[in-house]
Structure 1
């Protein structure tokens, strides 16, 4: 090891190598904070350089950044860059899939994480895609996936194509890494870019989640604007939107479950801005003691800021949506009557 350091004493690092060396020298938390500012291609380059950096003496690190002397000067070989260290550098900064993609490129090997993900696809889905590809591409995929999955996949492929694929698997030469990389990239773009895109139902839920945070008049304005051109979408959104005033649509049992989870002070604050109909639907759902407290407070002349009232009402509406999502209560469909008191 001492000989290795001596051989490296005169080594000169270029700009990108200095970045990799400094990042390896920093503690993990510090390096992760910095790495978040790099894009994917820059991270790939840093990982490649870090993996091939080898031994770097303390003198070289001192020349890069003298302020790091106390942290990295431990005697002997202060820093050794290799593939394991490069992978450790990226872990926690980007997703596991991105780390696997970058390190497969650095190591010159196939992306095992990606191929495990391919095996998570239904065999029929992948087979329907592959039957339109060249038999050589199908053969490459078959050789990379799990054998049990490969057998089920082949069973979904028409017989004539299956025979061509098996023949190519038997007579083809080893796959070049550059070819494998092209296949992996194409499959990623064709199969997973689409599967990761949100469905229309998910998009509706996202939009409804945003709209649910708005004031009632703003919600009505948005729905009216959408319904002019897309009445069906507007109807779907309306079924996902729940405001504080909609509490009257819930059955008494559901209202009881909701208000059991809310602090009394929030209930009082919300009801100060509510009309008589909402108050009349909420008060019977409270315990006797809580109801007396609420009614006593509402009889006073207190005038809290409107924004505080709106926040309390929004909290109650959010609680309803959360409990409905958990299956604890059910929100009646638009136009249906609420549950009758039990």
Structure 2
């Protein structure tokens, strides 16, 4: 059904929203059944996606359910179909909660807040009563709550943490009241209805879960059609810091292709562990000369050091494409 979406006006974007909604694991399972050109189009759509309104997500899911209902055998409802589809990806309880939200037509209350970016939640809570803000934070995942808290004024943080620590269970009526308060605040706040989805990281998360041949084909197609985007995906899939995880043998092969000047510039901005990785795979004399150059040369602009790191990473990728070295877990896509 996802491949049908891609043939409709705006279908690539709708399909991308659907795949991002169900998560990268289930999305990768779906993509394995599509042809490489279709996967390529969806990958491009995901990587270019920035913000999607809550209404767009709701409309996309509603359209998917309508099409599913029309295509299912008699006696099978779209609600059950979606429950089954999502169950393996997010668990039965979460799938039931998610489907209930879809059937209601939109995400609301705390469910909406859990899908918002930390910056958006912080904007909502900045002027809210501390007790309400504490309850909201307590109902977020710890990582999400911590990010929101870090964005709130420093003077508010201790009080909020004290209130969170002193919180006890809330009765259902209080939770319903909280949802109503949040809905009202969201409806009154301009620009609060959109959240960040997609982008390079989301595309990389999906690519990393694809089978090797499909991932390679898709990346090759993207590089050919959009070299700049392909380069961004390459850098996200494997960066200079990932060379720390490459085998000593392969680092030695890489060093034969890298000039001393390029290496010195790149290591100016590298941490001690990565420097040590390179030094261990050089002769003692060569390592000492490079160390002397790093310490003896004047300051290097950060942009120049980063460009040197990117060039060494590009050399590593070329060696990997030729089969001369392996770049670890992400080798399939570099």
Q: TM-score, normalised by structure 1?
A: 0.37
- Looking at CA atoms only, which structure, 1 or 2, has the larger radius of gyration? 1
Q: TM-score, normalised by structure 2?
A: 0.38
Of structures 1 and 2, the one scoring higher in RCO (CA 8 A, sep 6+) is: 2
